[in-house]
Structure 1
Amino acid sequence: MRHAEEVTFGGSGLDRAAEIRGDVGALAAAMQDPAARTVLIWRGKPLVSGEDALQALRLPLDHPILAEAGGPPILLGREDGAAVFAHDISGWVPEDFDAEAQASFLDPTEYSHGTCPEGRFAELRRIMTQLTPRDAELVATAKAVFGWHASHKFCSRCGVASEMHQAGWQRICPACGAQHFPRTDPVVIMLITRGNRALLGRSPVWPQGMYSCLAGFVEPGETIEAAVRREVWEEAGIRVGSVRYLASQPWAFPTSLMFGCHGEALNEDITIDPAELEDAMWITREDLAEAAAGQRPDLLPARKGAIAHFLLHNWMADRLD
């Protein structure tokens, strides 16, 4: 697909500096470099500044806010020859912390730390389209890797607490020696069409009126194409014939890699699985255009920045090839 690199969180060309992750001397030198910087994550939210066009703040490694860090940093890569790290300060609790709002689907809460008043921690899904491709890749990577560390603190082989290695890209069990690496879960998300209509569904936990492409995890021993056909049949009772890959998107909510595909439906009658979907329907390009223009209160388009929005927008504009 000609526009594949335009997907949010992809295409920035970040030098990840993987060759120095296991080099203790090189890592020490990188951290001592005055040009080295770090981005901050707090409970999955990146530290950003600005209004309409946001910037992920890059702080020096001696910034006082790093006293809140609960562990060692992750090496994200290099920019202009200097290392860029990430620190997690999730142990910090703001005085005005609102746990209920933060747990909501559209989390509006933002928090500032007293030692860094120029920045604020904001929900990544809400601000992702306001970041540059580079900043989006940096903070999404940091969020995903820190999320993996938080949920994989113990060895899956023997249960002993494991330790961070390779500049945050590995955990090693001190008891049995097992090595563990950040996981990425493959997910298919599919634009299913039949003529001038596309199949959309909605989850019951989404905001009222929101519809999106169907999606599901790829199972062991399954191809991407087979996963597309299985998921659409299971969720909506639609048989799919031809399937082609279009684009991918790393999706750090929490650790998915979305494989965007286009599939051609072989039948039209929808039979939803209520355990998976609240509703599903066929929409035309004209329906989608009206929704994008805000003229269909009953049909909210997929969230901007998500690959579903990218696929639907390009289908509406007849730019899938």
Structure 2
Amino acid sequence: MTVEFAARLPLSRNELDRDAEFRTTPDLDRVLRADPSVRWLPVRGAELLREDGGALRFVDAAAVPEDAVTLYLGRAVADAPDAPAGTRFVAAMLDASAAAAIEPDDDAWVSLRMFGTELSARDQGLAVEAVAMANWHAVHGFSPRTGSPAEVVSGGWVRRDPEGHELFPRTDAAIIVGVTDADDRILLGSNAAWDADRYSLLAGFVEPGESLEDAVRREVWEESGVRVEEPEYLGSQPWPFPASLMLGFRARAVDGDPSTARPDGVEILDVRWFTRDEVRERAGDTLLLPGRTSIARAIIEEWYGGPLDVP
């Protein structure tokens, strides 16, 4: 992954030491609540609060209910105006009533999708980690082996059922591909769940027993009928909506008539080849592109040759 491409991946930025050893501290929640220097990050579902200047909004430990699920996020590695290096951060996963007690204005709670590009590297790392783990905790309250309630241990990074079975967070690997043809046009598809004018790269989850390269070839063929070769890895970005790691690739269409591209008709309703001129002329008008927080946007701009001045 080149430095230039990495700079286009807002959700991959990070200035945080996850400090895994500290998660094993006995009675960790009490230790963290007793430390006035700790910053507490409220999380409502997959939504967060921001200060007027755009930074994440933190609260005091007293605002966090004792029964809230909390997650030790780690320590800052660099000084910042609101927290020196070494400051510890904790996410507090709140239900509706606890969240309303902190901030009753529903519009103040915002999805990370909407402002990920505006955060500092430290705050971006905190937000992605917190949202991803909040999503995991929301669906892992019970052991899949015994059906028993699973308690939160290890600073929020493990759940354990009464029989001692431990549950660890998982990340779903998904490939996303910038496919180009012999004329260096890019292949974009429109998903059935989107507006008709919205297009993005083809993507899909890696199946068990499958290499990333095979997943690239399979997903592109299944969704568009295009055969590709020479998949080349570009970089990765977490996508905690709810628990994906997007692995970016580019690949070349195998020689042949590119007009044979056809959507699968179920997930993808339309696929088209676009030139750079077409993208420049239509973007933001009759061509809605993926948002700036996505790796899809970064790969499209990598192919295009620079930033596209549209949302």
TM-score bracket for the superposition, by shorter chain length:
0.7 to 0.9
Matched, 1:38 2:40: yes
Aligned-residue identity in percent: 35
TM-score by length of 2: 0.87
State the SS of the aligned residue for 2:219.
helix
Aligned residue pair count: 292
Equivalent position of 1:20 in the other structure: 22
Equivalent position of 2:55 in the other structure: 55
State the SS of the aligned residue for 1:55.
coil
Mapped to 2, the partners of 1:265 and 1:218 lie a distance apart of 20
Is the Cα contact below 8 Å between 2:40 and 2:91 reproduced in 1? yes
Matched, 1:231 2:231: no
Deviates more, 1:211-220 or 1:81-90: 81-90
Q: Could you give the per-residue CA deviations for residues 93-138 of structure 1, whole angstroms, max 9, x where no partner exists?
A: 88xxxxxxxxxxxxxxxxxx46458992112212222222221221
Q: Could you give the per-residue CA deviations for residues 28-63 of structure 1, whole angstroms, max 9, x where no partner exists?
A: 43432211011111121011122xx5111122222x
Distance 1:70 1:215, change over 3 A: farther
Aligned AA for 1:288? V
State the SS of the aligned residue for 1:49.
coil
Aligned AA for 2:281? E
Mapped to 1, the partners of 2:15 and 2:209 lie a distance apart of 31
Is the Cα contact below 8 Å between 2:189 and 2:202 reproduced in 1? yes
Which of 96, 99, 107 is the matching residue for 1:91? 96
Q: Could you give the per-residue CA deviations for residues 236-264 of structure 1, whole angstroms, max 9, x where no partner exists?
A: 00001110100100001000000000111
Please list every run of 5 or more consecutive structure 2 residues that lacks an aligned counterpart in the other structure. Answer: 77-84
Query: How far 1:27 moved relative to its partner?
Result: 5.8
Which of 285, 294, 307 is the matching residue for 1:306? 294
State the SS of the aligned residue for 1:147.
helix
Please list every run of 5 or more consecutive structure 1 residues that lacks an aligned counterpart in the other structure. Answer: 95-112
Report matched runs for 1:63-102 at 5 Å: 64=63, 66-67=64-65, 71-79=68-76, 80-92=85-97
Matched, 1:220 2:211: no
Equivalent position of 1:172 in the other structure: 160
Distance 1:208 1:133, change over 3 A: farther
Equivalent position of 1:316 in the other structure: 304
Mapped to 2, the partners of 1:224 and 1:213 lie a distance apart of 16
Which of 102, 112, 115 is the matching residue for 1:124? 112
TM-score by length of 1: 0.85
RMSD (Å), alpha carbons:
2.2
Mapped to 2, the partners of 1:302 and 1:186 lie a distance apart of 19
Equivalent position of 1:5 in the other structure: 6
Equivalent position of 2:82 in the other structure: none
Is the Cα contact below 8 Å between 2:28 and 2:155 reproduced in 1? no
Is the Cα contact below 8 Å between 1:31 and 1:83 reproduced in 2? no
Mapped to 2, the partners of 1:115 and 1:241 lie a distance apart of 52
Aligned AA for 1:283? F
Aligned AA for 1:60? D
Q: Could you give the per-residue CA deviations for residues 71-108 of structure 1, whole angstroms, max 9, x where no partner exists?
A: 231000112212100001223288xxxxxxxxxxxxxx
Which of 183, 186, 192 is the matching residue for 2:173? 186
